A = this chain, B = another copy of it.
Amino acid sequence: MTTATDPVVLVVEDEPQMRRFLRASLTSHGFRLVEAGTAKEALALATSGSPEVILLDLGLPDGDGIALTRSLREWSSVPIIVLSARGRESDKVEALDAGSDDYLTKPFGVNELLARMRAALRRASQPSGAPVIEIGALRIDLARREVTLGERELHLTPNEYRILALLARNPGKVLTHRQILKEVWGPTHVGETHYLRVYMAQLRRKIEADPARPELLITEPSVGYRMRDRG
């Protein structure tokens, strides 16, 4: 059973038997499959299918996998794991130096393949994309810890920033006083609702056009606060 968040794997392989085997193994372990039987197909699908990892058989009907690896590497850094019947050391060296990330000699165990795929995915996802939240003119760059309102860069104190980031990460959702206090001041301060009032006032003075009529930081009386996400 696959879901929308499962990683996509591009399988480049021409033997029907091997394809069936991979299809069965991978879909049952949380991957979505895109399949190509030729180098040409593979190149097209590497663009349109936007796979997170590629499994590549070296023996293809229309040209060898080494050349395919090189063309992929001209523009993409998606992990490539070569699956090949050729076990000679020189084959491995050639494939790896062409730009592939790993090399498995057939026959191989499914579990090893899956583990190597996990390793490749782990590496690739490391420089995780810059999380940036935008709400109207307000822009919060979580990686840089930077808040801008239109063109102007805002200076927020540590607590102000943590509250704002927390609310912005849950746009539209009401966060209770307790939740916010626990997250920002720690579980020992969940009773100090007064802190919140002071800080919400400071934040509003900094980010609202008219702090008396808040449009972004909405009070939910006797419940908590909420970041308006639209309209």
Contact = CB atoms under 8 A, between A and B. Distances in A.
Contact of A123 (B101, B116, B157, B223): B101
A116 B81 CA distance: 12
Contacts of A127: 126-127
A96 interface: yes
Given A144-B226, A145-B174, A145-B220, A97 B118 contact: yes
- Place the interface of chain A in its size category: 35 or more
A158 interface: yes
A99 B120 CA distance: 10
A222 interface: yes
Interface in A111-164: 111-112, 114-116, 118-119, 122-123, 126-127, 143-146, 157-158
A86 interface: no
A102 interface: yes
A96 B102 CA distance: 12
B119 A101 contact: yes
Given A102-B102, A158-B223, A92 B115 contact: yes
Contact of A126 (B77, B109, B114): B77
A16 interface: no
B144 A115 contact: no
A115 B127 CA distance: 23
Contacts of A97: 115, 118-119
Given A102-B102, A172-B144, A96 B109 contact: no
A224 to B, nearest CB: 9
Given A145-B223, A158-B223, A173-B144, A90 B111 contact: yes
B92 A158 contact: no
Given A126-B127, A158-B222, 15 more contacts: A77-B126, A89-B111, A93-B111, A93-B115, A96-B116, A97-B115, A97-B119, A99-B122, A101-B119, A102-B119, A143-B173, A143-B174, A144-B226, A158-B221, A158-B223
5 contacts: A93-B111, A96-B115, A96-B116, A102-B119, A158-B223
